[in-house]
Structure 1
Amino acid sequence: MKFKRFIQLAGVAIALAAATNAPAQQVLKVGSTPTGAPFTFLDTKTNSIQGLMVDLITEIGKDAGFSVQIEPMQFSTLVASLTGNKIDIISAAMLATAARKEIIDFSDPVYSYGEGLVVPKSDTKNYASAEDLKGEVVGAQVGTAYVDALRKTGIFAEVKAYDTLPDILRDVNTGRLKAGYGDYPILAHNLRLGLFPEVRLVESYKPMTVGTIAIGVRKSDQELLGKINASLAKLKANGTVAKILDKWGLGGKSG
């Protein structure tokens, strides 16, 4: 009986040792923003960052063999946080612009769109381009591709830089700002929520900066980039990406 008990205990010890020596799943820190719905946003009910890009990087991690820890931060700090090793991945409403590609690398495209234009509802003019707002004071979110693009046109009296899109929408809503620019799907989502009843999204406006959202990594993390792209391709092929886009009201427009 003692020998049998010894064998049982030895078996338990071996099992525990195997479990202890099993490699733990890699946890990667993912930078996302509390504003940017439906791509990323702060869910006040759970006090966590949710949205399309959170769902997507979570599914990519499941397929590629890593788990994610979402780190909330302002959009303008994402790239610096990545290059400074505070985070490992950017998964937010970030366009893969030429300027950003000089600093970090991006995955294959996730979703494509351009900037949208919002004005007070009392302004019923059908603006078609930035030229139609020549000499006006307009706003755009700091850190986005739109701020520099709008300033380089030289046609505005001023391009104010705002921390968040809701800040822009509030100033347009109260009439303090003539017009605001931002990611079209995010502006549309905010207005659908009915939080800014005096703001109108100008459907006649044609964007001058069109790009694709993608997942960002450090240039030194080519192995990680390869895993992300492989899983992204797989999730596009099996319909997972389409389901996530549909969930957040952006079906049929993936990159």
Structure 2
Amino acid sequence: MKRINALLACLLTIMLIAGCSGVNSDASGQSTNSKKLVLGTSADYPPYEFHKKINGTDEIVGFDIEIAKELAKDMGAELVIEDMKFDSLLLALNSGKIDIAMAAMNPTEERKKNVDFSSIYYTSDQAVLVRAEDKDKYKTMDDLIGKNIGAQKSTIYEDIARAIPNAKVDALSKMSDILLSLESKRVDALIVELPVAESYEKNRSTLAIADARPKSEDNGYAVAVKKGREDLVSQMNKTIDRLMSEDKVKKYVTDATKLAEEGDSNIWTILVQYKSTFLSGVWWTLLLSLVTVVFGFILGVILVLMRRSRIKPFKWLAIAYIEFLRGTPLMVQLFIIYFGLPSIGIEFPKFIAGAIALSLNSAAYLAEIFRAGIESVDKGQLEAARSLGMSQSMAMRYIILPQALKQVLPAIGNEFVVIIKESSIVSLIGITDIMFQEEVVRGSTYAGLPPLIIAAVLYFILTFTCSKLLGVAERRLKASD
């Protein structure tokens, strides 16, 4: 018990340290009062916002970022950047996780119902991005009728694509994923921002801009803020007016376009150049998996004991918990904990929110594994233990649980391997695990498949090592048989 308590204390300390490392990025609606302006963006959209290695350090750059820096400067605040998927930005804004959202966002009437916007700071046209060999196939928008069209989810480009007659629309959250769909021939064309299309055409010889030109009235971009923040909107509009009058926005666009230089798609070059990025992802994946394994295991044991309890409320509560957690998607549970709970005053840093979601979900499955193990032990052993004067809890602790654990160790090992793989879902809320870093590298290098292969190999190394270690533990336990 002393060892277990020491381990729990150590893990709690690690969680607090990891959580505190993300506290500044989890500052909510009042962060401007504490001299911090938290910007939410989707940094896979050059030249607006994208990742770039500068002096060996990964940074989020782009002309949206430069404008945000000016906004923070005029407010006397420090700019904190949160990178997340585009379709999570407004959710994060309304839950207070970020102060402003900038990601080439159009102030459409639908969005204005939920958030407020600054004045327009940039206007651009749209384009059709295709594979280079198909450039001459699409002269007008009519040539896209009945085709497979890709677009970023929850954007006006998705609306434009869906307005094309008989078109099959494939909408994804990350621009890098949509680009991969085009290169792998899953879609025939992409509807994107013209500067973004030009950036990808310049850096990928396999892509080209078609002659077809989409038309949309919603081609201006503004900064989104939470409803009711008129003071913040007023401050931002003053800065935007100043930048427009000084003609600085055009300069930011030119500089960001030059900065979005060609990346290297060679897998070995990428691995060497971004090894520190991938290793950082491995560290956070391992840490998150370790925390999940320990707390999920402990909670799973508690749940199975509650389910087998003679106290009916405990039994009903455990059954309801297990069935609900197993019957709902992990992504929904993660979003409720990270984005939903702040609305009732409960807020966690993103690492702790991710660990809680994974632990609660894993505990439900482990509880059923433990129940199967306990029921596999002959009931006569419990009766014998009770006849020798042992209490119910003592017999369970010293007689039943050790044997049950040995019986279900392979199933527990499989659950641990699943945890390592499922932890990739936390990239949705910005935890820099392997999958998050893979997307960063893919966006920085304009490479499609190589970063995915590197991520797959890293996950395989982790899960294979875990399986072998559990195999050693299983053989040692069997030695006593």
Distance 1:49 1:118 in 2: 24
Q: Which structure has greater helix proportion?
A: 2
Distance 1:246 1:181 in 2: 22
- Out of 64-73 and 235-244, give the one that drifted further: 235-244
Residue 185 of structure 1 is matched in structure 2 by: 195
The residue type equivalent to 2:183 in the other structure is N
1:101-112 pair list within 5 angstroms: 101-112=112-123
Shift of 1:166: 2.5
- Higher RCO by CA contacts (8 Å cutoff, separation 6 or greater): 1
Is 1:35 paired with 2:47? no
Residue 26 of structure 1 is matched in structure 2 by: 35
Residue 128 of structure 1 is matched in structure 2 by: 140
Q: Which runs of 5+ in 1 are unaligned?
A: 1-23, 251-255
Distance 2:247 2:128 in 1: 32
Q: Percent identity?
A: 27
Count of residues paired in the alignment: 222
Distance 1:246 1:134 in 2: 34
Distance 1:239 1:119 in 2: 33
Of 212, 216, 239 in structure 2, the residue corresponding to residue 205 of structure 1 is: 212
Of 166, 170, 174 in structure 1, the residue corresponding to residue 176 of structure 2 is: 166
CA deviation vs aligned residue, 1:65-94 (integer Å, no higher than 9, x gap):
222111111111011110111101012221
Asked if the contact 2:140–2:213 (Cα under 8 Å) also holds between the matched residues in 1, the reply is yes
Q: Which runs of 5+ in 2 are unaligned?
A: 1-32, 259-481
The residue type equivalent to 2:229 in the other structure is D
Distance of aligned partners of 1:178 and 1:111 in 2 relative to their CA distance in 1, 3 Å threshold: same
Question: What SS is found at the alignment partner of 1:127?
Answer: coil
Question: What SS is found at the alignment partner of 1:93?
Answer: coil
Distance 1:120 1:226 in 2: 43
Is 1:95 paired with 2:106? yes
Rg comparison, structure with higher value: 2
The residue type equivalent to 2:150 in the other structure is G
1:240-255 pair list within 5 angstroms: 240-249=248-257
1:49-88 pair list within 5 angstroms: 49-88=60-99
Of 226, 230, 235 in structure 2, the residue corresponding to residue 227 of structure 1 is: 235
Asked if the contact 1:105–1:219 (Cα under 8 Å) also holds between the matched residues in 2, the reply is yes
The residue type equivalent to 1:70 in the other structure is I
Q: Which structure has greater strand proportion?
A: 1
RMSD value over aligned CA atoms? 2.0
Asked if the contact 1:32–1:49 (Cα under 8 Å) also holds between the matched residues in 2, the reply is no
Residue 153 of structure 2 is matched in structure 1 by: 142
The residue type equivalent to 1:146 in the other structure is Y
TM-score calculated relative to the size of structure 1: 0.80
Distance 2:126 2:138 in 1: 16
Distance 2:41 2:62 in 1: 10
TM-score calculated relative to the size of structure 2: 0.44
Question: What SS is found at the alignment partner of 1:47?
Answer: strand
Distance of aligned partners of 1:88 and 1:126 in 2 relative to their CA distance in 1, 3 Å threshold: same
Residue 166 of structure 2 is matched in structure 1 by: 155
